[in-house]
Structure 1
Amino acid sequence: MPNWLKLIISLILPQLVGGTGAYFTITSIGSWYQTITKPSFNPPNWLFGPVWTTLYILMGIACYLIWKSDHPQKKNLLTLYFVQLALNGIWSPAFFGLESPLLGLIIILPLLVLIFICIQKFKPVSSWASWLMVPYLAWVSFASVLNFSIWWLN
């Protein structure tokens, strides 16, 4: 497969995951999410879309850098990447769709661990791929604290 096609696929897949999650988020923001108690550090709703779009682009580029490599562990690294992407994809349906902060927390904590592992495992293959995942780790760390706080307060 040519590298340009790998890049396109790598960029589109996380956006598709994000778009699916956005459906559940948008349908819940105006109803259930407004009625629950949130911590004082809860960001404004409009911030989530631009942040996630940016993170999905960075993740896609990281995926591409791993995919185009000749590293012998490439398949394992891509599997790890796609497992964390799958967890990312089921968080919004769990948290917003099922209106379950507890289930969201059960999903986001292993997601956080897998992102950290991706960063560590990507580094020998591509330091750029590793660094491109750091903002994602930071945001999901914040989201984990937010998720926990919402669960705790409700």
Structure 2
Amino acid sequence: MRLVAQPKYMLLIGAWIITTSLLGGLATEIGPWYYSLKQPAWKPPDWAFGVVWTTIFALSGLAWLIAIRYSTSQAQKNKLTLLFVFNSFLNVLWSVFFFRMHRPDWSFIEAFFLWGSVFSIIYVMWPIRKSAAYLMAPYLIWVTIAMRLNWETLVLNPGIY
């Protein structure tokens, strides 16, 4: 399969990956508050989060590129773009709530919206190109795992906010 997309979309997707990664990273403050939290025994090591997010953003960018390539209308392309921009906002907002504001209760509630945004992207991609939708599955799985981790952090640390 030869992926040919309009250069403006390739630039947009690249900017989305870089901007969301950068803002999410800046919002993630691993410090005394975070280290004081009781964590579930199954929590992945801290270094794994960067590896997972890098993989997710690469797969998501590829999925977006495929979906744009096979979109049959400008309306589909616009819808995908809006969904990815909204997803970015929610992705960064989760980190702000959890790591900056120290509000795992707010981040847990917000995670349902983040999960819904990923599901919406998959839903819109599915009729365009199923392979693109499948590439988004790791993102949905990871957000589900993060929601469980967020919930267990709340349970293990009552009154931390």
Q: TM-score, normalised by structure 1?
A: 0.88
C-alpha displacement at 1:5, in angstroms?
A: 4.0
Q: Determine whether 1:14 maps to 2:17.
A: yes
Aligned to 1:32: 33
Distance 1:71 1:111 in 2: 27
Residue type at the aligned position of 2:66: L
**Pairs within 5 Å for 1:1-154:** 3-25=6-28, 28-72=29-73, 73-154=76-157
CA distance in 1, matches of 2:8, 2:152: 41
CA distance in 1 between counterparts of 2:77 and 2:26 reads 32
Give yes or no for contact 2:80–2:124 (8 Å, CA) kept in 1.
Answer: yes
Q: CA deviation at 1:143?
A: 0.5
CA contact (8 A) 2:119 2:140 kept: yes
Shift of 1:134: 0.4
Shift of 1:94: 1.1
SS at match of 1:109: helix
Q: Say if 1:10 and 1:64, in contact at 8 Å, map to a contact too.
A: yes
Mapped to 2, the partners of 1:121 and 1:10 lie a distance apart of 17
* Aligned residues of 1:91 and 1:104 also touching (Cα < 8 A): yes
Which structure 1 segments of 5+ residues have no match? none
When structure 1 is superposed on structure 2, of 62-71 and 52-61 the one drifting more is 62-71
CA distance in 1, matches of 2:85, 2:49: 22
| Largest Rg, 1 or 2 | 2
Q: What percent of counterpart residues are identical?
A: 32
**Which ranges in structure 2 are unaligned for 5 or more consecutive residues?**
none
- Which stretch shifts more, 139-148 or 75-84? 75-84
